[in-house]
Amino acid sequence: MITPGLTIRLGLAQMISWGTAYYLIGNFGPRLSQYHGWSETVIYGGFSLALLVMGIVSPLCGKLIDRHGGRMVMAAGSLFNVAGCLTLATCNTVTGYFAAWLVLGIAMRLTLYDAAFAALARIGGQNARRAMGQITLFGGLASTVFWPLGHYLDSRFGLTAALLCYAGFAALTLPLHLALPGRHHGDQTDINAPVKTAPAQKLASSTISAAPLSPRHQMVCGLLYALIMSLINIINAAMSAHMISLLAGLGLAGAAAINIASLRGIGQTASRLADTIFGRNFNPATVTIGATLVLGLAFVPGLAGTISITMAGVFAVAFGAANGVLTITRGTLPLMIFAPGHYGKKVGVLLLPGFILSALAPSLFAMALKSRGAPAVFGILAGLSFAALLCALLLRAKLDNAQKKPSAP
């Protein structure tokens, strides 16, 4: 059973974990380059390594949560997060820097949404959608809290002290993760059994049931899901590393760029709150279509080469809103395709390509930003978003088609 207390604890852990690990590079990337005298290739290459490591350990992490629940797996992630931040704060060599990001890559896969969603699916089975949405309300504020906080700590106490503070914040997630149930509270047979539903009504409810998919439809829908999430992962990796720099490239001053970029968290939380309240009226495939459309349109103003404070704020909020909803459907779409008992393993494998491809994004987009400028990068991001929209339309069509046919025996 998923209780309100469990949701709050896991939500707080998500906000801290995202802020101290995934969003760290967006704030401290330029400062790390300046402090150590290393090139941007080295700095963002570290973050790329972390994303690659996330992909490599993804299937194993999913299996561990399926087998043992999220408690010890996510608690281990807390320790890796602390170790990574400490290493980043104290390293003076490129080797040490990459070692820190290797550790942080493991930490991120063990603590961020994919692990949390699998843990919730393990605990709540097909009733996990609401809790998935609720924990993202907290996680959505990570950039809003930690980008300004990190900037303040760095300017007030210095880079090393700021990173040590991040290690301390990461340590706070350990008791929060240890408070999770060790295993699910339901019956193992129930959680592993595929569920066949009356399509139209139940897919729109807050309890998501796996559609009666044949093995072939399951494979096709799973691949489309993987492609959508791969594209979104690439966009998120690029934006988490370079959103502040992109806004600066459109003419915003440093402090203004940080403050505007932080508005993405407001958009994320607002859209997730709306999904929590109204999401039961829409099935996740339809929501994904709308979110990818908004995501693509959000990048269009950046094509002009300059942007006003107002339009920059609209962009940040719209991007955050679309990304916020897509984070939820990242967790709920698989419940339309697979039985909850196999959630962690199946999703872990499907997300592997996205993690690997997104590992290239920080370095490649750093080069694109330097050589082509911010408008070109906005154009690339818009193109990737509309490609995700096309895949979402195909996925919805495949799911609708599967519901009209009897499943294979």
- Domains, the chain, ordered by start: 4-403 (1.20.1250.20)
Q: Which of 69-78, 134-143, 200-209, 346-355 has the lowest mean pLDDT?
A: 200-209
Is residue 41 a contact partner of residue 362, using CB atoms and an 8 Å limit? no
Average confidence (pLDDT) over 275-292: 86
Among 67-71, 85-89, 332-336, 360-364, the range of highest mean pLDDT: 85-89
Q: Is the pLDDT of residue 409 over 50?
A: no
**Could you count the other beta carbons within 10 Å of the beta carbon of residue 155?**
11
Give residue-wise pLDDT tens across range 314-358: 999 999 999 989 988 887 888 888 776 667 777 878 888 888 888
Supply the pLDDT for residue 216: 79
Give residue-wise pLDDT tens across range 81-125: 999 999 999 999 999 999 999 999 999 999 998 899 888 888 887
Q: Is the pLDDT of residue 301 over 80?
A: yes
Is residue 116 a contact partner of residue 70, using CB atoms and an 8 Å limit? yes
Pick 178 or 338 by higher pLDDT: 178
Distance CA 242, CA 160 (A): 21
Q: Whole-prediction pTM value?
A: 0.77
Supply the pLDDT for residue 201: 36
Average confidence (pLDDT) over 156-176: 97
Label residue 198 by pLDDT band (50, 70, 90).
very low
Q: Is the pLDDT of residue 35 over 80?
A: yes
Distance CA 243, CA 222 (A): 30
Pick 256 or 187 by higher pLDDT: 256
Supply the pLDDT for residue 404: 66
Q: Which of 143-152, 201-210, 303-312 has the lowest mean pLDDT?
A: 201-210
Give residue-wise pLDDT tens across range 208-234: 555 566 777 788 888 999 999 999 999
Label residue 406 by pLDDT band (50, 70, 90).
low
Mean pLDDT of the chain: 86
Supply the pLDDT for residue 352: 82
Q: Is the pLDDT of residue 7 over 90?
A: yes
Percent of the chain's residues with pLDDT above 90: 54
Average confidence (pLDDT) over 6-30: 94
**Could you count the other beta carbons within 10 Å of the beta carbon of residue 253?**
11
Label residue 126 by pLDDT band (50, 70, 90).
low
Average confidence (pLDDT) over 383-408: 84
Residue with tokens 């400028």: 373
Q: Is the pLDDT of residue 185 over 60?
A: no
Label residue 194 by pLDDT band (50, 70, 90).
very low
Q: Is the pLDDT of residue 187 over 90?
A: no
Average confidence (pLDDT) over 359-383: 93
Q: Which of 29-33, 203-207, 391-395 has the lowest mean pLDDT?
A: 203-207
Average confidence (pLDDT) over 40-46: 92
